[in-house]
Structure 1
Amino acid sequence: MHVLILGGTTEARRLAESLAAGTRADLRVTSSLAGRVGAPRLPPGEVRVGGFGGAEGLARWLGDHAVDAVVDATHPFAGTISSNAASAAATTGVPLLALRRPGWVPVEGDVWHEAGSLEEAAGLLPSLGRRVFLTTGRLGLAAFAALEDPWFLVRSVDAPQAPAPPRMEVLLDRGPFTLEGERQLLRHHAIDVLVTKDSGGEATAPKLTAAREAGLPVVVIRRPPVPSGVPTVADPEAAAAWITARLRQGTTPTER
């Protein structure tokens, strides 16, 4: 059985590690990374880097490499590849599972302002603060480029490119982050508003606690939904169980 993991996330790597630890001779695992991070943490097993050429290209790849199942373990905001995966799975008949870490949930003391997009988040900022901690990744800065008054602290794994806000400092760093580290960062830079995507998970959640303690408003960008009809699990263990169940069924390409 050949399983393709669309990954790059912690959950995708954990799933690949779990499957590799099983050392089953009848299971082949390929992890696909988008290639947007300069020095990704590679999972065990076979790894490919780069796009497929849209839904049609992915469908061809599934057929050419005799893939029996796909696990979409991409970032919760990687909407394009998730849509392509759903389309390719429907075209080829290859079973598809979405692995999505649960989103964050506000607790007492949080001051959250939800936004449906980066552009909507940018529109909220002038009324919320002037020193912004922006943690939405390096690829979405164009949405904030027209804001001339706020000062931005932009944290990302790799350096962002223009267009970007005119008043900006870049902090290159990779999670997981500690609560004390986030507290110090907010104080040192006199941050008065946080902007984040609802990525979920524990690695970057301490910033939310630090913002809550400081009484800061947080703009939370809602994640896009999983494509309709795609079954979803919340952790790598459940994804591994799904794959194991398919192994027991003895699924082969000719049986689809």
Structure 2
Amino acid sequence: MQILILGGTSEARQLCRALESRREHHIIFSLAGVTNSALPVPAETRIGGFGGVTGLADYLKDNRIDAVIDATHPFAAQMSRHAVEATRVCAVKLLRLARPAWQAPPGARWHHVSTIAQVPAALGDRPRHVFLTTGRKDLAPFMMTPHRYLLRSIETPHLPLPPYTTLLLARGPFSLDDEIALMTQHRVDCLVTKNAGADATSAKLDAARRLGLEVIMVDRPALPPAQECASVEAALEWVRQSEIQGIRRSV
């Protein structure tokens, strides 16, 4: 089978390594290229966009792709939508590997918003110390706000930072003790994050709960229906079943 993995998560890399270790399929690992320091994978890798639905459909045809596994970040909504449409047009199998969303535990103070643009209103007008972990590309809504920000990012933002921002360059996983120490040091009174659902960065939520801090949670965007699984193991089983079905059809 020719399998295209749309990457962008740790689960995508784990799946790629597991499939490559079996040496039963040809794997193409695709990254959008928004992060220059992406971790390598042991497979043919392509960097950059496809050029919309039409470009992705052409790629699937030209490379005779048998199956697409969408393991992009939960907030890479445009790519996921394009994957649904392009695979439908080309009659190519599609699986979405979607890690479970975070759920508020008892005692947590979560305020849900639908988009990044709604966060400033949720923060209010009183100056606050905000731990901002929504990424380096979503800074525009915070430029005209009165708050002090601790911004954590894997890479230095190309866009101007909001006033009174402290930049912290770091890549997870992060420990609970370190997150508590960081929030205490910077006198954080509110955590802003997207519901990525990643284990590597979930300690910040436990730290906020321990410290009694408010969390403003940006909910995931809605995606068109697609077959989904929630683990690398389930994705591997889907590949195995797809291969069996392909063999049966060819007999």
When normalised by structure 1's length, the TM-score is: 0.94
User: Contact between 1:129 and 1:192, CA under 8 Å: does it hold in 2?
Assistant: no
Query: Does 2:193 align with 1:196?
Result: yes
Contact 1:126–1:150 (8 Å) recurs in 2: no
2:2 aligned with 1:5, yes or no?
A: no
Contact 2:127–2:148 (CA<8 Å) still a contact in 1? no
Identity score, percent: 43
Q: Residue 101 in 1 paired to residue 86 in 2? A: no
AA partner of residue 77 (structure 1): F
Question: Which residue, 221, 243, 249 being the options, matches 2:245?
Answer: 249
The amino acid of 1:218's aligned partner reads V
Match for residue 153 of structure 1? Answer: 150
Find out whether 1:19 has 2:19 as its counterpart: yes
Q: Which residue of 1 aligns with 2:175?
A: 178
Given that residues 130 and 150 in structure 2 are in contact (C-alpha distance below 8 angstroms), is that contact kept between their aligned partners in structure 1?
yes
Equivalent residue in structure 1 for 2:141, among 140, 143, 154: 143
Query: What's the Cα RMSD here?
Result: 1.6
Read off the aligned partner of 1:71 and give its amino acid letter: I
Alpha-carbon distance, 1:163 to partner = 4.3
CA distance in 2, matches of 1:169, 1:136: 14
1:19 counterpart letter in structure 2? L
SS at match of 1:203: helix
Counterpart in the other structure of 1:130: 128
Aligned partner letter, 1:151: R
Q: Give the whole-Å Cα distance in 1 for the aligned partners of 2:12 and 2:177.
A: 28
User: Residue 79 in 1 paired to residue 73 in 2?
Assistant: no
The CA distance in 2 between the partners of 1:224 and 1:95, in whole Å, is 23
| Structure 1 gap segments, 5+ residues each | none
Corresponding residue for residue 236 of structure 1? 232
Amino acid at match of 2:141: A
Q: Separation in 2 of the partners of 1:161 and 1:222?
A: 25
Give yes or no for the alignment of 1:227 onto 2:227: no
**What are the ranges of 5 or more consecutive residues in structure 2 without an aligned counterpart?**
none
Conservation of the 8 A alpha-carbon contact between 2:149 and 2:166: yes
Q: TM-score, normalised by structure 2?
A: 0.96
